[in-house]
Structure 1
Amino acid sequence: MAKVVHKFGGSSLSSAERYQAVAKIILEQCQLGDSVVVSAAGKTTNTLVKLWQSFEQQDVRAFNDVLLQVENHQRELIDALFTGDRHAALLKQLVNELQALAQAREARTLHYASLLAHGELWSARVLANYLSSQGIEARDIDARKLFVQQDGVLLHALNKEVCYSAIGDNAVHIVTGFIAADSQGETVTLGRNGSDYSATLLANYIDATQVSIWTDTTGVFSTDPRKVSSAIKYAKVCRSQAELLARLGNPVLHAKTLSPLKGTDIKLQVRSSFDSDALGTEIVKAGYSKEKRFITTFGQLDLLRVEKLNSGEVKQLSQLIQHSIHHFIKGGEAHLLVPSEFSHLVINALEPRANIIESQVQGFAVVAPSQDIAGLHLQALELLDDNAIVTRFVLQAQNYSLVLTDQSIDSDVLAVLHERLVNKGRELAVIVAGVGNVGEVFIEQCKDQFDKLSEHFDLKLVGLLRSKQMLFCPSGLNLAQWQQQWQNEAIEYNEAELFTRIKELDYEHKVIIDITASERFSALYPQFVEHDCHLISANKYAGTAKHSWYTQLRQKLQERNLLWRYNTSVGAGLPVNFALADLQNSGDEIVRIEGVFSGTLSWLCSRYDGSEAFSELVLGAQALGFTEPDPREDLSGRDMQRKLLILARELGIELELDEIELEPLMPDNLAQGSWLQFLENRQQLDDFYAEHDAKARENDAVLRYTGALEIANNGHVCAKVGIAHVPNGAAIANLTPGDNIFVIHTKWYEQNPLVIQGPGAGKEVTAAGIHSDLFWLTQNLK
């Protein structure tokens, strides 16, 4: 049975109303077998620390005053949440425990960790009883029975066995956070933010599928949302960046919290108990989220330089001061970034190897993808200089920039830094399907094109697909080394795995660029739309599918405010669809479109002069790679038939493929049988073509293979693809071999039609056309 661990902090349990809100969340989110880890309610731990200080100072009056504060808070919770026998029992238990604390003070036997443990014990007891009073099967568990450590090291094997036995499927288990026991049974604490650590430890021990940290913030932000209103809440953050932020002192997550999740598939999410409907932030493994940009600010810090920092010492020092310590190497020397209030403890522990080189500094760190850091570091220093802020120490590391300053970074300066360094534009994840000839050129062109678009959009090529293999990198592939990455990292996949990876992409926008010739892949378009992907197609199948399927796809795109562009499916890089759209948007009316829409058939017809057999031209074009592997696919005219249908639908005409009359450029019988049989009977093709060519010449015309779409005044549509005798002198007659031509007659271009002509095939122009569609997409999104 899949189990989930939830953790609620002190702010989530600060009042009776908050307990009721937490109970509502548990009712909605939990099932029997799940666990809930709790912190002490509100500021209870701080109050218990004051109680301990009064005990140490032997100040009886202060001790009794603070003990009364503790009692009053707990009584308020019990009085507000319970009645009858349950109220009486809980109150009696509380009074007995408080009396025991007073007696321990008198006997001088009070124990620090055991004293602090009361906060979590009371929270767990109150919450479990309140859930039970609401009809939820719940029981509280003292974590000292679950977590045992020896000489400061948790006994993982033993703890896992105990947790498996104690956490059954018959209740919701309310577990105390923050506390554990040593091998002698004495209470120990797990340090600052130990309840978060308790939650991830428990999840590891019981093989839970997920941990939810419920707090007073709705997730992990790009910077402090209390200081910068435009701070971005991220849906996903990769663990490596979360760990770095934790070491740098970011208050939402802490490095110790994340450590039990290493090597596991346990999901971790941060959510708000004050807004349980809001989606939180998921902390995911490497490869399941792109790296983000963050700015985290510091309070009072000291920078220490340490001689010969030994392995494991940073962890020991962090445990000593109960606070994360960031360390790094600069100039071959080890440095520690320590909160000023703890510096003396660290220096004493390292005596005489440590000394302070910068005291009482503040500042910030920029965390970002490694390829962005150098530029962001320079921009940050320029902004500080513009704002007359003096820097005391700077460090440009691989994936973060550290800046220590004399003065604090106020909200105004932080907002400017955030606007320039983080919130620089929209994000677009690009997934390319088809990395053959055109796909390779498209990818090679991406770096320059992405740079041109970077002012308004941050584009990342995150996925490459072939029929059986895929490569995904959520933070973006290295465009200079993508082929090597493909060779080393591409894996086999199925459709379910593909959509899982697409779903995990946490980008503002995603686009599938289909450069395949696969009808099966085009059939996946509705599923791509369901995963909120825009579409760019060089593939003609979707645009020429059954009208009902095509219309439904269009409707789904519109419902989700998604865009679809497929200009390169007709005319390669020629702006045909753009022209048709502009004419219609400007109030013109399309009357007739005629032209040659196949580079292959353009080349064959324009080159034929009777000096050699037509079949020889076909074989020559095949050898040059101008045709499909079986040239009969070109001669059939089906490709042009599909292109004419796409043009018709761009004009809003409801038309099916088989409603376009088709006349192949070969005898019907040659379409049957094998390619070898075709070669044996190729004289029939030669005779067929020579006969049609002769008839054209008799009429002072040339033979061309054209498509024509005509719209009558009454709305009747006539569409045909086939052999045409074009008068000498006409634009189509003088077509350059290999070019496409579109002759567009409109209400305004009636006597002198609009002509669009140019290469209709070729990997460079087709790739450029796809980039044109991509530019169009970004402009429409902007």
Structure 2
Amino acid sequence: MQRQWISPRLLRGTIRKDKLHRNMKVMKFGGTSVGSVKSILSLKEIVEAEARTQPVIVVVSALSGITDKLITMSQMAKQGDERYREEFDAIVRRHHSMIDTIIQDINKRVELINNVDQLFDQLKSIYYGVYLIHDLSKKTEDTIVSYGERLSSHIVAAMVKNGVRMNSRDFIRTQKKQGKHVVDTEETTKLVKEAFSSVCCDSVATNKIYVVPGFIARDSDTHETTNLGRGGSDYTASILAAVLNAEVLEIWTDVDGFMTADPKVIKSAYTINELSYVEAMELCNFGAKVIYPPTIYPVCVKNIPIKVKNTFNPEHPGTLIKANIENDQKPIKGISSIKGTSLITVTGLSMVGVIGVNRRIFTTLANKGISVFMVSQASSENSTSIGVRDEDAEAAVEVLNAEFAKEIETGAMFPMQVESGLATIAIVGENMKQTPGIAGKLFGTLGRSGISVIACAQGASETNISFVVDGKFLRKSLNVLHDSFFLSEYKVLNIFICGIGTVGGMLLEQIRTQQQFLMQSRRLKLNVVGISDVANFVLDRDGIDLDNYEQILRAGFPANTEHMRDEIVKMNIFNSVFVDCTASRQIAQLYQTFLEHNISVVAANKIAASSDYDSYLKLKQTARDRGVWFRYETNVGAGLPIIGTINDLCNSGDKILKIEAILSGTLNFIFNEIAADVPFSETVRRAKEQRYSEPDPRIDLSGTDVIRKLVILTREAGYKVEQDDVEKHLFVPDSYFEGSIDDFWAKLPELDADFEARRKVLESENKRWRFVATMEADEKDPSNFKTSVALKEVPYGHPFYGLEGSNNIVLLTTERYKEYPMLIQGYGAGAAVTAAGVFANIMSIANI
């Protein structure tokens, strides 16, 4: 059956809005609806309930899988493969078994078996003839495949109450045009009206059920058996509904209706309640296999609605397809896709301004029977790209090269270029034409996800934007578009968390407790798809159960940085964020790869942002170029908004002239705790016990942590600085950082007496120790600046004097805040506040 594309404008223009419809219904049941005992009994219940109130015409497909088997057996017989007989016997047994189960009346069962066996005898003889002569003509193949519907219609007609079987070959007629069978509309209309004259009569009994085999037809001239092609049973039902002016056409299948996307790919896809004829046609043409595309046109002309229902879930309302959808607010109704796309580019300078090139392209392909489902042409006219299925690509290239052989030989055109393994995606919705910026949002969303659009096309009707991407990005494209255009119930953020110690463990708990709240109040789903610790890592794109993640993690992959990196990249998941709650240099080295693959990074780990300046700059530039995010607010001040504030000042045109800060909660705790009865060594031990310090406190005492933080703040303020540029004035001799950690603890009390003596002097002068990080620029030449860290004596009245516990404080002197520096103060250490800061960074990405 030849498929014809109908323009949306033509669809709208042909609808007859004033036509009254008869109180009758055409119901089509697909192969899965008659494919099992359970489904066919459901069909019986559905149809008989409808027949109590109005005449019903039931169109049936062959039992599921039978048409494919009939074709396969044809090829086996043609090749002389005797195994076709075994397949034939299996089909016979399947039909007999169903009849024995569903037909309880013994006399009716015997009669049905006889009718079915007569058909099987005919079919067996045809196969044997093919087997003997090793030849299979198109006429013979059409006859063979007709038996699937002929058999199923006999069974259904015998099963339902008051069933009347009709032979569709008596009234569905086709003509041969350009080697294809197309419906002879005039003859078919006349014969359908004659065959169903009793249905059109108002006095007819309302409980009749007319059962029609779908798909099959008869040639108007030769009267040979033909068919309407794959999905032709839908088309049969549509023709009957249109000619008989039915109230509605119902398509009963194994899904609840049209979905917003393929539910096998998009877990959050849901049934679309209503579609216009145009939207349904577009979705069908681009891969939504709910109904056969030509089905729509006959009923659309008569303004007869189509209802798609689920035989296995008849209570579901399904999808209603009609002319106009009222109160329709969504610009996008659904997303369809075609896997296995090849893009063929016809290019050459001779094409510019030459009339008839595209006609030659499409005529050549049509003559070869190759369907083109997308066209994209450069405005310069020197190239045209066409989308075909992968299996048609080789033949398409061959015939096009032959068609343009002379031009290729002279160099006026180039040989056909083909790129296979692609996927075509279409977003569909009639409201797109009323919503500015849809295309911009579409391509922007794909770009931020690292998905390149290879070709695109949009019709003047603006109901469909189609584009081609690399096939490996199909799942990611569908997910991000479904999420971005509010087709999903929730916006999803997919999170990988590396490191589940004090901060990471607290972060997971915060996410777990907030998940339901965010879904209900913000329509945001935080989906933790990866967790890693020092021993194992686990990945699951559907999400990890946070109530049970520790047990799941123990059963995961052994920890390996490169393996984890490769697996995360391979997942190719949309809206993804890698969260680093470690202090690992190896993990920090993964950021560049993740950003290059459009995975945002949130880091509590300070190593990357304080590493060599060029690497730091490359990370930020990559994030900007790829449209993703590199967030590290908690690198300085835990949950305090220090980095964000500096960024805001600089972005607004202010200039940071001086930074004075206490950036180590650990050191501030130590110097707040020290007292006459609490020696220096004891304060260090308390800092470790209360988990303020690193597991090895020497990292804090060496000033390394503060230096990193100062470097980060200085860079964010717009200055180029390396860690080695920072002047260090430390308070613990270098010898204490040598040897083992046990050696350190053993020697540390040696410093207590000196610290106590100096502390008494400070106390008498009403001063306190504070470990201060400083960046100061020359006001006349801001490029001339110095950075330092030092233990300073702070007098009473200074903002740093009263800083309590493990708090941090930052004073920012800027061109605007010169006389009265800006002060930021608060908790600067602790797992809870650091985890909260990381969580805030994650949420900032979710809100963009």
TM-score by length of 2: 0.47
Q: Deviations over 1:267-316 (max 9, x none)?
A: xxxxxxxxxxxxxxxxxxxxxxxxxxxxxxxxxxx9x9xxxxxxxxxxxx
Contact 2:258 2:319 in 1 (8 A): no
| Corresponding letter in the other structure for 2:87 | G
Contact 2:257 2:310 in 1 (8 A): no
Question: Is 1:151 matched up with 2:83?
Answer: no
Q: Secondary structure, in 3 states, of the residue corresponding to 1:536?
A: strand
Q: Which runs of no fewer than 5 residues in structure 1 stay unpaired?
A: 1-8, 13-111, 122-140, 156-179, 195-301, 305-320, 325-337, 343-357, 384-388
Distance change >3 Å, CA 184–CA 566, structure 1 → 2? same
Contact 2:495 2:528 in 1 (8 A): yes
Q: Which residue of 2 aligns with 1:563?
A: 629
Q: Secondary structure, in 3 states, of the residue corresponding to 1:543?
A: coil
Q: Secondary structure, in 3 states, of the residue corresponding to 1:593?
A: strand
Q: Which residue of 1 aligns with 2:774?
A: 708
Contact 1:514 1:536 in 2 (8 A): yes
Distance 1:649 1:396 in 2: 63
Give 1:381 shift. 9.9
Alpha-carbon RMSD across the aligned residues, in angstroms, is 5.0
Give 1:751 shift. 3.0
Question: Is 1:460 matched up with 2:460?
Answer: no
Q: Which residue of 1 aligns with 2:498?
A: 433
Match of 2:540 among 473, 481, 485: 473
Distance 1:642 1:147 in 2: 78
Q: Deviations over 1:687-742 (max 9, x none)?
A: 34234434534543211112111112223211111211011122211011111111
Match of 1:747 among 815, 818, 834: 815
Q: Deviations over 1:84-138 (max 9, x none)?
A: xxxxxxxxxxxxxxxxxxxxxxxxxxxx9999899x99xxxxxxxxxxxxxxxxx
Within 5 Å, give how 1:197-596 maps onto structure 2: 360-361=250-251, 364-366=257-259, 402-404=316-318, 418=334, 422=487, 427-447=492-512, 448=514, 452=518, 455=522, 459-487=526-554, 489-492=555-558, 494-596=560-662
Q: Secondary structure, in 3 states, of the residue corresponding to 2:257?
A: strand
Give 1:424 shift. 6.0
Contact 2:602 2:838 in 1 (8 A): yes
Give 1:484 shift. 3.9
Give 1:461 shift. 1.9
Distance change >3 Å, CA 685–CA 502, structure 1 → 2? same
Contact 2:609 2:616 in 1 (8 A): yes
Q: Which residue of 1 aligns with 2:705?
A: 639
Distance change >3 Å, CA 680–CA 478, structure 1 → 2? closer
Give 1:601 shift. 0.9
Give 1:149 shift. 5.1
Distance 1:147 1:486 in 2: 54
Q: Which runs of no fewer than 5 residues in structure 2 stay unpaired?
A: 5-66, 91-126, 142-208, 212-227, 238-247, 277-304, 335-428, 430-484
Give 1:612 shift. 2.2
| Corresponding letter in the other structure for 2:318 | L
Q: Secondary structure, in 3 states, of the residue corresponding to 2:811?
A: strand
Match of 1:722 among 776, 779, 790: 790
Distance 2:586 2:659 in 1: 30
Distance change >3 Å, CA 401–CA 617, structure 1 → 2? farther
Contact 1:738 1:760 in 2 (8 A): yes
Q: Secondary structure, in 3 states, of the residue corresponding to 2:518?
A: helix
Distance 1:114 1:374 in 2: 34
Give 1:495 shift. 4.3
Contact 1:666 1:688 in 2 (8 A): no
Distance 1:710 1:736 in 2: 25
Q: Secondary structure, in 3 states, of the residue corresponding to 1:673?
A: coil
| Corresponding letter in the other structure for 1:735 | L
Q: Secondary structure, in 3 states, of the residue corresponding to 2:788?
A: strand
Distance change >3 Å, CA 505–CA 725, structure 1 → 2? same
Q: Deviations over 1:646-683 (max 9, x none)?
A: 11111121111011112333222211222332233223
Contact 1:113 1:187 in 2 (8 A): no
Q: Which residue of 2 aligns with 1:628?
A: 694
Q: Which residue of 2 aligns with 1:312?
A: none
Give 1:508 shift. 3.8
Distance change >3 Å, CA 451–CA 369, structure 1 → 2? farther
Match of 2:837 among 769, 775, 779: 769
Contact 1:374 1:396 in 2 (8 A): no
Distance change >3 Å, CA 148–CA 509, structure 1 → 2? farther
Distance change >3 Å, CA 340–CA 621, structure 1 → 2? same
Q: Which residue of 1 aligns with 2:679?
A: 613
Q: Secondary structure, in 3 states, of the residue corresponding to 1:485?
A: helix
Distance change >3 Å, CA 631–CA 143, structure 1 → 2? farther
| Corresponding letter in the other structure for 2:508 | I
Distance 1:480 1:395 in 2: 38
Q: Secondary structure, in 3 states, of the residue corresponding to 2:817?
A: coil
Q: Which residue of 2 aligns with 1:264?
A: none
Aligned length: 469
Distance 1:649 1:188 in 2: 79
Q: Which residue of 2 aligns with 1:732?
A: 800
| Corresponding letter in the other structure for 1:626 | Y
Contact 2:657 2:776 in 1 (8 A): yes
Distance 2:843 2:805 in 1: 30
Q: Which residue of 2 aligns with 1:97?
A: none
Contact 1:450 1:459 in 2 (8 A): no
State, as a whole percentage, how many aligned pairs show the same letter.
Answer: 25
Give 1:364 shift. 1.1
Q: Deviations over 1:130-170 (max 9, x none)?
A: xxxxxxxxxxx999489965522999xxxxxxxxxxxxxxx
Within 5 Å, give how 1:7-86 maps onto structure 2: none
Q: Secondary structure, in 3 states, of the residue corresponding to 2:497?
A: strand
Q: Secondary structure, in 3 states, of the residue corresponding to 1:719?
A: strand
